[in-house]
Amino acid sequence: MADVIKLLPDHVANQIAAGEVVQRPASVVKELLENAIDAGADAIKLIVKDGGKTLIQVVDNGDGMSETDARLAFERHATSKINKAEDLFNLNTKGFRGEALASIAAIAHVDLQTKKDDAEVGTAIKIAGSSIKAQEVVVTPKGTSLAVKNLFFNIPARRNFLKSDQVELRHITDEFHRVALVHPNISFQFYNNGAEYFNLPIESHRQRIVHVFGNKMNERLVPVSEDTDVVKIHGFICKPEFARKSRGEQFFFANNRYIKSPYLNHAVTAAFEGLLKSDTHPGYFLFLEVNPATIDINIHPTKTEVKFDDEHTLYAILRSAIKHSLGQFNVAPVLDFESNHDLDMPYAYKDKSTQMPTVSVDAAFNPFQEKKSGSNAGIKVGLPKKESTKGWENLYEFEGGEPTNFSSIQVESSFETTSLFTEQSDNETGQNLFQLQRKYVVSTVKSGLLLINQNRAHQRILFERFLKDITVNKAVSQQLLFPVHLEYGQKDLSILKSLNEVLENLGFDIHFDNNGAIQVNGVPTLLAENNVSTVLDTVLATYDNEQATDSFSQAEIMARLLSTSLAIRTGQELTIEAQQNLVNDLFACKEPKLSPHNKKVYTILGLNEIENKF
C-alpha cells in the first residue's frame, strides 16, 4: 500500500498559515506596525489605498536590516525576538513567532527596502506568492519601507469575502488606534488614498487620546493611577454621563500590547455600578504593567487574548482604583457625615472677623396715633385706607335684564364623576381605547381584546416611513434657524460621510468641515433640534459595519436605527386621539405584526381565554 502522508510545499504551508495571521487588510497593518515599533522607530508612516486591497505600506526610521536578514525575514519561523522556549514567558516585544512576513508574502506582492544606520547602501527585495522575484542594492534612507500590494491576488475566494473599502478602512483605523494609543512617544502619520487621515506628533497619553478621538474627549477623561506590587495601572476613564451604547471606546493595554479581557471589563463596569444606564457602557483607556512572567500572550493567534496568573487580585485592584478615581474627582456622589456645611465660609471672608448685627428701633412709634399737621389732620398713620364700596350693585347687573332661572348661569367647576371607571370611546369608529400601564394600547375587537405595544408599534410605523423616504423619495428637511455644530473623530466622520446620501434622503442637511467638525443645517421633521446630537451618536454607536455591504441594507439599517431612537417610549402617556392614530397607522403598514427588530407588536386575547380565567 502506497504512503498517503506527504510533506506540504513551503508556499502551500505559508498560504495555510496566512489564514491565521492575515484575515483581512487590517491584519497586515497590525503586523507591519508592530514590526516597525520593535525596530525602535520613533516616526512611522502608514499609507493605504482602496481599503488596503490595493496597497498597504509602512515606512519607519528604525534599525533596518542587513542583506541577509532582509531575505531571511520572509522564511517561516524566522525571528529575532526569541532564541529558546523560555523566552516566551519574558516577552517585551510585539511579534515573536516569525510567521507574519512569510504569511503576507504568500498571498500578496511585497516590495521591501531596508538599510541599517551604519551601512552605505540598502537592500531591495520583490516577492510574489512566496517567490523572490528580484533582489538588488538600492540607495534608501535608514529604516525600512515595506509595501504590500494586491492582497489575496492568488486566492480569489478570500478576496471576494472582503467587505467594501469603507468597512475595511474602519477595521484598519481600529488597528491603527490600538497601536497609536499605547505609543505616544512615537509620531504616526496615516494616509488614505493620498489624503492625510491622521498626523499624530510625539505627545502625552492624554494628548494622544484627544488627537485620535477629537477635542470633545478632553472634558470626558478622568485620570486613573494605582501602583502595587502586582500591577501598575494608569490611564483614563470617561465620565458616566458620556457612556455610550457601544463598546467602541474601551481599550485595555497590558505591557504596551492591546488585549481583550471580558473579565477585566466586568471589573470596570462593576466600579461604575449605580452611575450608568442599563443599556450603556463606560469608556476607558487603561494601561496595565505586570511582570512578563505572570502573563501568557501566546494563547491566541492574534495575541489579543491573554491569560493572567492572578486574575482575581487584578480584578479587585482595578475595580478599587476606578472607584477611587470616581470619588476623588467628584464624579461619584460621596456622603460626608463629619463636615458641617453650615460653617463653610467664602474665601473672600476668610480674614474678616464676625460682628454682632445692630438693629435700630423707634421706641416712640405708635401706629394708632393720629397725625394732626396741616391739611392731613385726621388721617390715621399706619392703618390702610379703606376703599369705597359704593356701586357694588353694578357688578351683578345682567344685559337684557335679570335672569329668571339661575340654572342658565354657567359656572366653572370640576367634572362630576358618576362611576369609578369611565368609558372612553371614539365617536366615529365606536372603538373603545385606553392605555394600560403607559405601555400598551388596549382596544376591543370582535374576537376579544387587542393589546398593542406602543413602543414597538411606533417603531414599525416610523421604520416603513423612513425606508420609503430613503429608497423611493427624498424626505422633507426642516431647516434650522441656528445650525448645530458637532465634533467627531476621524473614524466617526468616515462613517457619517459613507452614510451622507442616506441621511440626506431622510431629511438631514450636513456640511462636513476639514477640521473634524460637522454643521447640521437641517433635520427630519420628526426630529427635535435638541435631539440631533443624541440621534447621531446612536447611529454611530450601533451602526453595524458588517451588514452594510450594499445600498439597500445600509438604508434598512439607518431606518431601523432612527425608528428606534424616535419612537414613543414606554411610560409616555397618550391621548385618545394619539392612541387612535397609532392603531390606524399600525394596521396601514405592510408588516404590522413585527417590529423592525422582529419582535411581536400586538396580541389578541380571545374571549375563550378570558372566560377560562373565571
Helices of type H across 393-517: 454-471, 490-498, 500-506
Over residues 261-288, the mean pLDDT reads 89
Higher pLDDT, 369 or 175: 175
pLDDT of residue 7: 79
19 and 87 together in one domain: yes
Largest interatomic CA distance in the chain: 144
Instruction: For residue 166, give its domain range.
Output: 10-200
How many CA atoms lie within 13 Å of 224's alpha carbon, on the beta-carbon side? Answer: 29
Higher pLDDT, 516 or 522: 522
pLDDT of residue 138: 93
Is the residue at 248 inside a domain? yes
The CA distance from 602 to 583, in Å, is 10
If pLDDT is split at 50, 70 and 90, which confidence band does 528 have? Answer: confident
Summarised one tens digit per residue, pLDDT across range 531-546 is 888 888 877 776 654 4
552 and 488 together in one domain: yes
Taking 90 as the threshold, does the pLDDT of residue 161 lie above it?
A: no
Give residue 606's identity as a one-letter amino acid code: G
209 and 196 together in one domain: no
If pLDDT is split at 50, 70 and 90, which confidence band does 349 have? Answer: low
Taking 90 as the threshold, does the pLDDT of residue 405 lie above it?
A: no
134 and 21 together in one domain: yes
pLDDT of residue 214: 82
Of 179, 200, 221, the residue at which a domain comes to its end is 200
Higher pLDDT, 281 or 383: 281
pLDDT of residue 248: 73
Percent of the chain residues past pLDDT 70, beyond the cut: 78
Higher pLDDT, 395 or 373: 395
Any bridge partners for residue 250, and if so which? Answer: 284
pLDDT of residue 80: 64
**47 neighbors 55 (Cβ within 8 angstroms):** yes
Annotate 76-95 with DSSP letters as a single string.
TT--SS-SSGGGGGS--SS-
> Which of 57, 48, 142, 38 has its CA nearest to residue 98?
38
Taking 60 as the threshold, does the pLDDT of residue 185 lie above it?
A: yes
Taking 50 as the threshold, does the pLDDT of residue 62 lie above it?
A: yes
Is the residue at 359 inside a domain? no
194 and 209 together in one domain: no
If pLDDT is split at 50, 70 and 90, which confidence band does 338 have? Answer: low
Read off the C-alpha cell for 613.
Answer: 380565567
- Other CB atoms within 10 Å distance of the CB of residue 504: 16
Is the residue at 18 inside a domain? yes
89 and 177 together in one domain: yes
Over residues 460-480, the mean pLDDT reads 82
The CA distance from 575 to 581, in Å, is 10
Is the residue at 193 inside a domain? yes
- Report the Cα 566 to chain-centroid distance in Å: 18
237 and 175 together in one domain: no
pLDDT of residue 467: 84
Question: Which of 460-464, 466-470, 579-583 shows the lowest per-residue confidence on average (mean pLDDT)?
Answer: 466-470
pLDDT of residue 597: 86
137 and 220 together in one domain: no
CATH code of 532's domain? 3.30.1370.100
Over residues 101-128, the mean pLDDT reads 91
Higher pLDDT, 356 or 398: 356
Highest-confidence range of 186-195, 328-337, 492-501, by mean pLDDT? 186-195
Over residues 565-586, the mean pLDDT reads 88
pLDDT of residue 570: 86
- Split into its structural domains, the chain has a count of 3
The CA distance from 123 to 114, in Å, is 5
If pLDDT is split at 50, 70 and 90, which confidence band does 60 have? Answer: very high
66 and 182 together in one domain: yes
For 530-559, letters b (16+ CB in 10 Å) and e give eebeebbbbbbbebebeebeeeeebbbbbb
Taking 60 as the threshold, does the pLDDT of residue 341 lie above it?
A: no
Is the residue at 45 inside a domain? yes
Is the residue at 400 inside a domain? no
- Mean pLDDT, all residues of the chain: 80
If pLDDT is split at 50, 70 and 90, which confidence band does 415 have? Answer: very low
Taking 70 as the threshold, does the pLDDT of residue 575 lie above it?
A: yes
Taking 70 as the threshold, does the pLDDT of residue 436 lie above it?
A: yes
Element (H, E) at 577: helix 576-586
Is the residue at 356 inside a domain? no
Question: Which of 300-304, 396-400, 432-436, 576-580 shows the lowest per-residue confidence on average (mean pLDDT)?
Answer: 396-400
180 and 155 together in one domain: yes
Question: Which of 113-122, 324-333, 595-604 shows the lowest per-residue confidence on average (mean pLDDT)?
Answer: 324-333
Over residues 437-455, the mean pLDDT reads 88
pLDDT of residue 458: 93
pLDDT of residue 110: 94
CATH code of 68's domain? 3.30.565.10
Higher pLDDT, 412 or 320: 320
If pLDDT is split at 50, 70 and 90, which confidence band does 398 have? Answer: low
Taking 80 as the threshold, does the pLDDT of residue 107 lie above it?
A: yes
CATH code of 228's domain? 3.30.230.10
**Pairing outcome for strands 250-254 and 284-289:** parallel
Over residues 344-362, the mean pLDDT reads 71
Show Cβ contacts of residue 221 under 8 Å, excluding neighbours closer than 6 positions: 206, 209, 236, 237, 238, 239, 285
70 and 114 together in one domain: yes
Taking 80 as the threshold, does the pLDDT of residue 373 lie above it?
A: no
Percent of the chain residues past pLDDT 90, beyond the cut: 28
Sign of the CA dihedral 74, 80, 82, 83?
A: positive
**291 neighbors 297 (Cβ within 8 angstroms):** no
Over residues 450-461, the mean pLDDT reads 92
145 and 91 together in one domain: yes
Is the residue at 528 inside a domain? yes
Question: Which of 5-19, 133-147, 232-246, 506-520 shows the lowest per-residue confidence on average (mean pLDDT)?
Answer: 5-19
Question: Which of 162-176, 179-193, 321-335 shows the lowest per-residue confidence on average (mean pLDDT)?
Answer: 321-335
pLDDT of residue 81: 60
